[in-house]
Structure 1
Amino acid sequence: MAKKKEKEKNLVFKNKKAWHDYHILDTYEAGVSLQGSEVKAIRDGRVNLKDTHVRIIKDEVFLLNMHISHLSTAHTTFRPNERRDRKLLLHRKEIEKLHTKVTKDGITIVALKLYFNSKNMVKVQIATAQGKKLHDKREDMKRKTMQRETQMTLKNWK
């Protein structure tokens, strides 16, 4: 019973597509501005980070295309849009640093994972990233399959 509660606290939703499509450079932790029953929906596992991306609009950082489904127990008159733009909470210096990197170097900002921190607050890990070329993606897939095969042979050998 105690392990189940511990597992619920460490709920993590990952964006695996970001690791496949981008070279991750720097990571940042940001808070997320949520409405209504969205926190309960996140606890229930109704989150999709697959096509999310981050934009800086008028010196504010927004998380676009993150899908949080409605709860069946939520009130029907107040249901926020499932794919609405959610504001990220960062320090001013971090926003300026991200803005200079994005405008100068042609780097994009992607969301890597969504989780609850030790104070039970919803946090999102964002990263500055550079897009991979097709041959880089192929090399990564080859490397991962080789590692998986060696792990399997070592496991079967013992």
Structure 2
Amino acid sequence: MARPKPPVFDKQKIVAENRRARFDYAIEDVFEAGLALTGTEVKSLRFGEGSISESYAEVRNDGQVWLVNANIPEYSHGNRLNHEPKRPRKLLLNEREIQKLFGAVERKGMTLVPLSVYFNGRGRAKVELALAKGRQAHDKRQHLKEQDWKRDKARIMRDKSAGD
């Protein structure tokens, strides 16, 4: 039976990416969550500013999911009503998705890691959120070996088919 294809999100403009997350964590499931932002935060993101490299998400007891430690710098043309750069931001998810995330984090000891922040086709700011399990150093080495073997295998198959 074929493996189901991962969900494809409508990413028009990627603002920030966490490339290290796919190496440090074994990704189990991926969700798309909306971001509750203020006006100056949206303008700052539209300029392509923002970082999620040290950020994570957490499910709090009140049944809400928050993005913690994401850095969206102050808007350059903002006035005294500018936002705080590292404030926690609420993530907008369905109740069923929140319950699934809460159960996985509580029971299985998994982590919620943001993979990217982007604008979709309708111009809404979204976060690609992954339910992941942390990798140990030996797991990372094994993962690199598997990637190298896949790359070498593809090269061998390509050379073999070109030689016929």
Name the TM-score class by shorter chain: 0.7 to 0.9
Equivalent residues of 1:30, 1:90 under 8 A apart? yes
The total of aligned residue pairs comes to: 144
Q: Which residue of 1 aligns with 2:52?
A: 49
Q: Which residue of 2 aligns with 1:31?
A: 34
- In the TM superposition, residue 11 of structure 1 has moved relative to its aligned partner by 1.7
- Aligned partner (choices 13, 22, 27) of residue 11 of structure 1: 13
Q: TM-score, normalised by structure 2?
A: 0.80
Equivalent residues of 1:36, 1:78 under 8 A apart? no
Q: Which residue of 2 aligns with 1:66?
A: 70
Q: Any stretches of 5+ residues in structure 2 without a counterpart? A: 1-10, 159-164
Equivalent residues of 2:111, 2:133 under 8 A apart? yes
Equivalent residues of 1:28, 1:125 under 8 A apart? yes
Distance 2:87 2:54 in 1: 13
CA RMSD of aligned residues (A): 2.1
Residue type of the alignment partner of 1:69: P
Q: Which residue of 1 aligns with 2:7?
A: none
Report 1:136-151 matches (<5 A): 136-144=139-147, 147=151
Distance 1:11 1:28 in 2: 18
Identity across matched positions, percent: 35
Distance 2:43 2:146 in 1: 39
Q: Which residue of 2 aligns with 1:6?
A: none
Higher helix share: 1
Q: Secondary structure at the match of 1:47?
A: coil
- Aligned partner (choices 124, 136, 142) of residue 121 of structure 1: 124
Distance 1:18 1:89 in 2: 21
Residue type of the alignment partner of 1:83: K
Q: Any stretches of 5+ residues in structure 1 without a counterpart? A: 1-8
